[in-house]
Amino acid sequence: MSREITIIGAGVVGLCVATELTARGVPVRLVDPQPQPGPHACSWWAGGMLAPFCEGETTEEPVVRLGQEAADWWARAGVQVHREGSLVVTLGRDRAELDRFARRTERHNALDRSALSDIEPDLGARFDRALYFKDEAHIVPRAALDHLRDQLDHNGVPVDAEAPEGDLVIDCRGLAARDVLTDLRGVKGEMVVLQTHDVELSRPVRLLHPRHPLYIVPRGDGVFMLGATQIESGERSRATLKSVAELLNAAYALHPAFGEAEILEIGVDARPAFADNLPRIRRRGDRIFVNGLFRHGFLLAPALSRMVAEYVIEGTTPEVMDEDQRER
Amino acid sequence: MVAFYETEVRSRLMLGTAQYPSPAVLEQAFRRSGAGIATVSVRREAGQDRAGAAFWDLVAQLGVHVLPNTAGCYSVREAVTTAHMARELFDTKWIKLEVIGHADTLQPDPFGLVEAARILTEDGFEVFPYTTEDLVLAERLLEVGCKVLMPWGAPIGTGLGLTNIYGLRTLRAQFPDIPMVVDAGLGLPSQAAQAMEMGFDSVLLNTAVAKAGDPAAMAEGFARAVEAGRLAFEADPMSPRDMAAPSTPLIGKAFLE
């Protein structure tokens, strides 16, 4: 294959597709008006949890299965993958939530207080029960995006602001592709970045709550990311006080020492999703759309990149290929 | 058929549209249950530049009556503003009025509720107030112009069922001609059937379906229970009694009394 493929959009999907095709010897070029990863892409605001089994609580089977490819893919790409598993806890009066979560997910084991203290001492003092998903992992999203971008540079992949005419195009523009994919919708998410050295966590922790569920991902050096609201709105700006207050309250409930943390950042963007919140690959003429990764960008981009590569190189129809032309 | 503000609705089951795993699952729940009314929460932020339009379009495509609500409003002013936004967005006079008074239990604020209901009714809205089973509060809501009442079964999202049977029965008996919807607190179809057997006109629930492992199946379960309960109410059920009454005469046995 000698024809150069144009990849539009240098968020997590575009960078993963470019990386996968380059690794397989296919010449590509990236097109994005913003040359470097940054706040313009919704993957910039991601949590970076590679937690396919936890996600099984609310998502369908393909996410759980395809998400299991993610940790190895990121490690192969040279990104530091923290394979420490993840934890799910709940406050005393919401214990039933933990039982429900356990029933609806797999590959976890229950920890009592002493087992929890062994792996996460700061939580052992606060919680007497937890679910431990030992096969899960996490990465630092911004470092991962920067790394892929640098590697592509290193491999001589050109990055342009505008797309040339007539090439095969892989469209990875996320929500911006709504101009063609009219059944794509935005789901607003707000997040907060905190820093404190008074709490130590080695792995992502989910706090189940009937109204304000929260996850917290350690980024190292006392930095923690709190996420994330999920609001049916395509708005990509304006974090509200209410949302941020809920996130901060939940963090404080997880551990009171977060009360003294410094707020480094408040972020907001909208995730691209189809009606079933599952990803799709669509072909329209010479343009292949990879979109709808919803809250699973870093989890599913590896599997989707593999499918795109197999499709482009071998002609294998991807399982998430969608010929249902439901665009309105 | 049941009617609210002279609009006839095909089903006595109303479903909320929040907390489903995805809009596609929400759609399946509506299709399988045949629910006639969808409540939609209007967040003020989503109304800006119609940012929530994609989701509202999905709800509109369900082909059911849309009842926008003021969920999450803690003051009269907030509720009134949200109602106005909802009227514009959904082109309907209907509004499910929630004025929350307590952040933890999400109990209605009875004073704010009456005030907001008065303002909105005067402004031409058809108000569905989310209220408690309190009789005096119900009277005040009717006085300011509400023609439907939505008493709770239990606090929102608890799934505890009908926690004050006596209060609900009194409310029903006191205002026999007012359409009443038991709203909130239902967790199981049997609880919905119970409300319908007591003569309530409809039930509204959200969490019990949205958070079930199989929301579409649970929605159908509720639909059947609502139908069963209504049939039982219309059939004029027997009164319970302490002494056993054999349904087959005990021929040839001595009379024991």
In a domain, A309, yes or no: yes
Encoding tokens for residue B33?
């249950």
Reported as a single tens digit per residue, the pLDDT across A94-110 is 888 899 999 999 999 99
pLDDT tier at A328, thresholds 50, 70, 90: very low
Q: Burial of A249 by CB count in 10 Å (0-12 exposed, 13-18 middle, 19+ buried)? A: middle
In a domain, A156, yes or no: yes
- The CA distance from A66 to A57, in Å, is 15
Q: Judge whether B69 is annotated as a binding position.
A: no
In a domain, A321, yes or no: yes
In a domain, A93, yes or no: yes
Q: Do B54 and A103 touch (CB under 8 A)?
A: no
Beta strand ranges found along B167-239 (DSSP E): 181-183, 202-205
For residue A278, report the phi and psi dihedrals to the nearest 5 degrees.
-110, 150
Q: Judge whether B207 is annotated as a binding position.
A: yes
Q: Do B213 and A103 touch (CB under 8 A)?
A: yes
pLDDT at A211 over 90: no
**B interface test, pick of A208, A229, A233 with most B CB neighbours within 10 Å:** A233
Q: Do B46 and A59 touch (CB under 8 A)?
A: no
Reported as a single tens digit per residue, the pLDDT across A17-47 is 999 999 999 999 999 999 899 999 999 999 9
For the ranges A82-86, A247-251, B1-5, the one whose mean pLDDT is highest: A82-86
Same domain assignment for residues A180 and A196: no
Reported ipTM: the value is 0.82
- By CA distance, what is B53's nearest residue in A? A233
pLDDT tier at B57, thresholds 50, 70, 90: confident
Same domain assignment for residues A293 and A319: yes
**A interface test, pick of B26, B50, B55, B105 with most A CB neighbours within 10 Å:** B55
Per the structure, the count of domains in chain A is: 2
Q: Do B22 and A103 touch (CB under 8 A)?
A: no
Which helix (H) or strand (E) segment holds residue B249: the answer is none
Higher pLDDT, B19 or A166: B19
Q: Do B54 and A234 touch (CB under 8 A)?
A: yes
Same domain assignment for residues A311 and A259: no
Q: Do A235 and B45 touch (CB under 8 A)?
A: yes
Residue A230 has a pLDDT of 87
- The CA distance from A222 to A74, in Å, is 23
Of the candidates A284, A286, A283, the residue with the CA atom closest to the CA atom of residue A166 = A286
In a domain, A310, yes or no: yes
- By CA distance, what is B18's nearest residue in A? A232
Same domain assignment for residues A268 and A286: no
Question: What does each C-alpha distance from B22 to A119, B39, B222 come to in angstroms?
Answer: 34, 16, 20
Same domain assignment for residues A105 and A231: yes
**Mean of all residue pLDDT scores within chain B:** 91
Distance from CA of B85 to the nearest CA of A (A): 15
Residue B238 has a pLDDT of 87
**Which of A58, A238, A273 has the CB atom closest to B45's CB atom?**
A238
In a domain, A79, yes or no: no
Percent of chain B past pLDDT 90, that is, above it, reads 73
Reported as a single tens digit per residue, the pLDDT across A278-325 is 999 999 988 999 999 999 999 999 999 999 999 999 999 999 998 755
Residue B58 has a pLDDT of 86
Which helix (H) or strand (E) segment holds residue B173: the answer is helix B165-174
- The CA distance from B153 to B165, in Å, is 9
Residue B96 catalytic?
Answer: yes
Residue A35 has a pLDDT of 83
- The CA distance from A39 to A59, in Å, is 27
**Which of A104, A188, A240 has the CB atom closest to B213's CB atom?**
A104
Residue A1 has a pLDDT of 45
**Which of B21, B52, B53 has the CB atom closest to A277's CB atom?**
B21
- The CA distance from B224 to B104, in Å, is 32
Question: DSSP label at B240?
Answer: P
pLDDT tier at A156, thresholds 50, 70, 90: very high
Reported as a single tens digit per residue, the pLDDT across B139-171 is 999 999 999 999 999 998 888 999 999 999 999
Provide the CB-side half-sphere exposure for B179 (13 A, CA). Answer: 20
A235 close to B (CB below 8 A): yes
- The CA distance from B12 to B34, in Å, is 9
pLDDT tier at A51, thresholds 50, 70, 90: very high
Q: Do B45 and A58 touch (CB under 8 A)?
A: no
- By CA distance, what is A96's nearest residue in B? B158
Higher pLDDT, B252 or B169: B169
Chain A neighbors of B213, CB-CB under 8 A: 103-104
Encoding tokens for residue A291?
């979109």
Encoding tokens for residue A127?
């919680």
Beta strand ranges found along A17-72 (DSSP E): 28-31, 49-50
Residue B116 has a pLDDT of 96
Residue A94 has a pLDDT of 83
CATH code where residue A23 lies:
3.50.50.60
Residue B45 has a pLDDT of 61
Torsion angle (degrees, nearest 10) of CA B209, B210, B213, B216: 60
Q: Judge whether B219 is annotated as a binding position.
A: no
- The CA distance from A299 to A55, in Å, is 10
Chain A neighbors of B207, CB-CB under 8 A: 210
Q: Judge whether B184 is annotated as a binding position.
A: yes
In a domain, A155, yes or no: yes
Per the CB < 8 A criterion, the answer to whether B70 and B82 are in contact is yes
In a domain, A78, yes or no: no
Same domain assignment for residues A28 and A166: yes
Residue B72 has a pLDDT of 87
Same domain assignment for residues A285 and A316: yes
A319 close to B (CB below 8 A): no
- The CA distance from A271 to A258, in Å, is 27
**Of these residues, B93, B96, B211, B253, which one is catalytic?**
B96
Per the CB < 8 A criterion, the answer to whether A205 and A254 are in contact is yes
Read off the pLDDT of each residue in B22-44 and give the average, rounded to a whole number: 91
Residues of B170-208 as b/e, b for ≥16 C-beta within 10 angstroms?
ebbeeeeebbbbbbbbbbbbebbbbbbbbbbbbbbbbbb
Same domain assignment for residues A57 and A147: yes
Residue B169 has a pLDDT of 95
Distance from CA of A223 to the nearest CA of B (A): 29
Domain that holds residue A191: 86-134+185-273
pLDDT at B190 over 80: yes
For residue A240, report the phi and psi dihedrals to the nearest 5 degrees.
-90, 155
Residue A238 has a pLDDT of 87
Distance from CA of A320 to the nearest CA of B (A): 16
Q: Judge whether B245 is annotated as a binding position.
A: no
Same domain assignment for residues A46 and A193: no
Question: DSSP label at A179?
Answer: G
Same domain assignment for residues A55 and A191: no
Amino acid at A231: I
- By CA distance, what is A100's nearest residue in B? B213
Same domain assignment for residues A121 and A150: no
CATH code where residue A257 lies:
3.30.9.10
Q: Sign of dihedral through CA atoms A194, A195, A196, A201?
A: positive
- The CA distance from A306 to A313, in Å, is 10
For residue A30, report the phi and psi dihedrals to the nearest 5 degrees.
-105, 140
Read off the pLDDT of each residue in B183-209 and give the average, rounded to a whole number: 95
Residue A326 has a pLDDT of 52
Q: Do A234 and B52 touch (CB under 8 A)?
A: yes
For residue A55, report the phi and psi dihedrals to the nearest 5 degrees.
-65, -20
Q: Do B23 and A104 touch (CB under 8 A)?
A: no
Residue A295 has a pLDDT of 95
Encoding tokens for residue A311?
């499709």
Chain A neighbors of B52, CB-CB under 8 A: 231-234
**Mean of all residue pLDDT scores within chain A:** 92
Chain B residues within 8 A (CB-CB) of chain A?
21-25, 27, 43, 45-46, 48-49, 51-55, 58, 157, 207, 211, 213
- The CA distance from A29 to A177, in Å, is 19
Residue B256 has a pLDDT of 56
Same domain assignment for residues A287 and A318: yes
Count Cβ atoms below 10 Å from residue A78 Cβ, excluding itself. 12
Distance from CA of B22 to the nearest CA of A (A): 5
- By CA distance, what is A59's nearest residue in B? B21
Higher pLDDT, A154 or B90: A154
